[in-house]
Amino acid sequence: MNSAATPSGSVAWALRTVAALYVDPRGVYSTIPGVECWGEDKDARTYAGPHPVVAHPPCTRWCRLAGLVEARWGHKRGEDGGCFAAALEAVRTWGGVLEHPAYTDAFAAYGLPAPVGVGSWQRCLCGGWVAHVDQGHYGHRARKSTWLYAYGIASLPSLPSLPSPPAECLVSWCGNHVAAGEDRPRLSSKEAAATPLAFAELLIAIARDTALPSQGRDMEER
């Protein structure tokens, strides 16, 4: 299952619509043909198909800095308005992939195992797959370690099996193994959150390769 994903090559596959949930409607996903963007103007928690999804649920209530956010602004850890739960349900219903920061507390909260190592897909009891990958391999200026959860995919792609090289920038000072006196710049919140085009294309390709029954309905519409 760790073999490289190979699209069918058909026009129908190449144009198959994918819903990108919790994304900037003017961001990188808007530049990819066949992607339906769900930004702040839509409530991605209400997504009801029929397309496979790439989900980027908000992470500030789940990431390593969630404790700091709670202490400073009072936002309770894990209270994200049901965004992660809805994203997980959408992936399991329509097929696709969910992305969250590495070491997110959301995985444990929803019974997903933490990926072991970097670059290998591991099977979950629910039938899905998890993996750890660094977005630095795909053009992000920081390492931006990321966990993926995929469900209903016919053939999962190979991922880089090593951590990305030391990055020129940092997403934050948390968990980046910063050496004493190191002065690498910290990215703005907008640039840190941005998804590199190559990584977005990888996630779209994963979603388009879903083997769930919804695939047939989606093709029939075309």
Is there a domain that residue 222 lies in?
Answer: no
Is there a domain that residue 5 lies in?
Answer: no
Which domain CATH number covers 106? 3.40.50
Average pLDDT over residues 169-181: 52
- Judge residue 136's burial from the number of C-beta atoms within 10 Å of its C-beta, 0-12 exposed, 13-18 middle, 19 or more buried: buried
Residue 203's contacts (CB-CB under 8 Å, 6 or more residues apart) are: 54, 97, 99, 148, 195
Q: Where are the alpha helices (DSSP H) in 56-179?
A: 66-73, 83-94, 105-109
pTM metric for this prediction: 0.79
Q: Is 141 helix (H, G, I), strand (E, B) or coil?
A: coil
Question: Six-digit token pair at 205?
Answer: 């390709």
Is there a domain that residue 156 lies in?
Answer: yes
Please give the tally of structural domains in the chain: 1
| 147-171 pLDDT, tens digit each | 999 999 999 999 998 777 666 656 6
**Alpha carbons 90 and 36: distance in angstroms, whole number:** 14
Which of 72-86, 161-175, 185-199 has the lowest average pLDDT?
161-175
Q: What are residue 29's phi and psi, to 5 degrees?
A: -65, -25
Is there a domain that residue 221 lies in?
Answer: no
Which of 56-65, 96-105, 196-205 has the lowest average pLDDT?
56-65
Is there a domain that residue 25 lies in?
Answer: yes
Is there a domain that residue 3 lies in?
Answer: no
Residue 78 has pLDDT above 60, yes or no: no
Residue 41's contacts (CB-CB under 8 Å, 6 or more residues apart) are: 25
Tokens 């370690």 locate to 145
Residue-number span of the structural domain to which 179 is assigned: 11-216
Is there a domain that residue 6 lies in?
Answer: no
Is there a domain that residue 1 lies in?
Answer: no
